[in-house]
Copies of this chain bind each other. A is one copy, B any other.
Amino acid sequence: MTFKSHMRAALDEARAAAGRGEVPVGAVVVDAEGQIVARAGNRTRELSDPTAHAEILALRAACAAKGSERLVGHDLYVTLEPCAMCASAIAAARIARLYYAASDPKSGGVAQGARVFTHPQCHHVPDVYDGIAAREGETLLKAFFQDRRRDTDL
């Protein structure tokens, strides 16, 4: 398994989210051996939970499986730049490496906006790798919102 196949798994989760009528974002958590230990897509609507972003659900599932608040040595792959909430959760979980696909000028909190990892109040900073499969991540989102606009126009 390479980082590309891990991002493909995250993209699969994003597509599944779109199929459920959720904003198509997907995430996977990978352990130090390169095994996917948790995967999730966005479920904010289904769960009536504004915190149910793909990253948060994947982190919570991985932590629950491990019985620990911390995922030392684990990586997170996500199809969209995390928002400030998810970036801060990624720091709290002590994720070693963050890989993300599309950047998010509208809501991102890593490379723009709150830039969560750049402040002394952030107690752990992962290595960040952006732009992996960025076009696929972005295409999924654009198609989803175009479809929604078309539905609204009918």
In this complex, the member of A85, A106, A120 whose beta carbon has the largest number of chain B beta carbons within 10 angstroms is A85
Interface of A (DSSP majority class): loop
The answer to whether B106 touches A121, judged by C-beta atoms less than 8 angstroms apart, is yes
Which of B67, B85, B92, B115 contacts A88, CB < 8 Å? Answer: B85
**Residue A119 is within 8 A (CB to CB) of chain B in the complex:** yes
**Residue A60 is within 8 A (CB to CB) of chain B in the complex:** yes
The answer to whether A49 touches B60, judged by C-beta atoms less than 8 angstroms apart, is yes
Q: Given that A114-B109, A115-B114, A116-B114 are contacting pairs, would A84 and B50 also be in contact in the complex, using a CB cutoff of 8 Å?
A: no
Q: Given that A114-B115, A115-B114 are contacting pairs, would A84 and B48 also be in contact in the complex, using a CB cutoff of 8 Å?
A: no
**Residue A140 is within 8 A (CB to CB) of chain B in the complex:** no
Q: Given that A113-B119, A122-B114 are contacting pairs, would A66 and B85 also be in contact in the complex, using a CB cutoff of 8 Å?
A: no
CA distance A114 to B44 in the complex (A): 24
The answer to whether B113 touches A50, judged by C-beta atoms less than 8 angstroms apart, is no
CB neighbours of A83 from chain B (8 A): 88, 92, 121
Task: State the Cβ distance, A50 to closest chain B Cβ, in Å.
Answer: 4
CB neighbours of A48 from chain B (8 A): 63-64, 66-69
**Residue A41 is within 8 A (CB to CB) of chain B in the complex:** no
Which of B68, B69, B108, B109 contacts A84, CB < 8 Å? Answer: B109
Query: A residues touching B (Cβ–Cβ < 8 Å)?
Result: 44-45, 47-51, 56, 59-60, 63-64, 66-70, 83-89, 92-93, 104-109, 112-116, 119-123
